Amino acid sequence: MTAIFVNEQELVKQIVEYVEKDEIAIAVRKLRQQAANSRELLPRWLLNTADALENNDWDILSEGFINKDFIGKNGYFLIIAPYKINRQSQPQVTLSAIYGKMHDTQEPSIEQLENLSREKFGKLGQPVPKNYSFTEIASCGNISGESGEAFIVPYRWCFRNSSSGPVLNNASEQRRRFLGSSRECIKKIFEYETANLLLDPLEDEINDKRYRHADTQVHEAGHASGLGFDFKLKQKFFQNYTYGGVEEWRADSLGFEFAACTLAAQEAGKLVAVNLCIRFGLDAHRLGGLEKDVDVHAGLLSLEHLFQNDAIYITKNGQLALRNLSYPGLLQAVELHRAQALCLTRRELNLKSPTGLFSLYKIDIHPSIQSIFQGLVIERCQGIWAKLQ
């Protein structure tokens, strides 16, 4: 039985390699062969994937993706489809594949987060997408390596209604990036004790996957709150990177609020630490920079609110430092994030027309904060981070 399973893993890895080499006919044949013998992946999903590849008609995957039929026994899964990313505000669509194994992550529960959103806003804009954290086995295309996406959002899969599917978080790739350039950046940007406080949850080999999962799950609950991310997407609201950046910051900030409501302050503060490590150690250094990239803008907004809340200062050595060096203190540091995001979300629910979002999602950033972000965050890490392509 073990030999059969190991052999199946090797065969699926080969399918991903054939996709990467653009040997589509061979990949299609192997998928159909595997559908007849697979003990881990669902035959119907494999056959539909083969048909989609052969006919270049990807809508056949829509229902199975939404229903999570791509996840087989014991959490193993395979997705092959075109995936779109944005680099320097330009869309890039590439046939991509990901083969991996899901983690058994349960908290916080979707039901708990949806109830919280209804409690705070009176309604839920859309169902909270479930975030699945996984360990990668093989990948190619726009979701592979340093230049690809480790946080795989559903709406970028290029088939019908993909936004209704789950979020996939590549924990193994996230950890690889963190252990390299991201951790080094945090140590350069922040003074010693602040850096250690931020890094400790991600350096916890027992709990780091749990913290990553919880951070992304409360973030997705933030997107679902208010009018909902799907509604804004259908309204083509995210044409400008600044609107997307505000939405990302809003989701971060509501995530902090939901964490504060569902976890002890010590644990909620650790989720804030994970978020800041991602925003300042990774996202701030994306190739698009301050004038093009959604995630860079979200990090800039986060720094603006940390300074407005008087939670952070600049040391004599030109590094950023937190005033309260504890996880409950870190949760207090984002109190303004939480209050402003709650207010923004309630205001968007009171809009009479969706066009009102355009003026509502303009958040002023003080020029001095932009200069600090450019000099003490971005430029300080030039040459460290292998920037995303």
Strands 167-170 and 131-140: parallel
* pLDDT tens for each residue of 267-301: 999 999 999 999 999 899 987 788 888 999 999 99
pLDDT classification of 88: cutoffs 50, 70, 90: low
pLDDT classification of 387: cutoffs 50, 70, 90: very low
pLDDT at 79 over 90: yes
How many percent of the chain have pLDDT more than 70? 96
The closest alpha carbon to 278, from 255, 309, 307, 261, belongs to 255
* pLDDT tens for each residue of 354-382: 899 999 999 999 999 999 999 999 999 98
> Which residue do the tokens 């193993």 mark?
76
d(CA 364, CA 234): 26
Q: Cis before residue 108, ω within 30 degrees of 0?
A: yes
Arithmetic mean of pLDDT, 158-169 = 90
pLDDT at 222 over 80: yes
Q: How is the chain split into domains, by residue range?
A: 2-381
pLDDT at 224 over 90: yes
Average per-residue pLDDT for the chain: 91
Check residue 181 and give its pLDDT: 85
DSSP symbols for 141-176: GGGSSTTS-SEE-GGGBSSTTGGGS-EEEEHHHHHH
How far, CA to CA in Å, does 268 sit from each of 22, 214, 278? Answer: 45, 10, 16
The closest alpha carbon to 370, from 302, 322, 311, 323, belongs to 302
**pTM given for the model:** 0.85
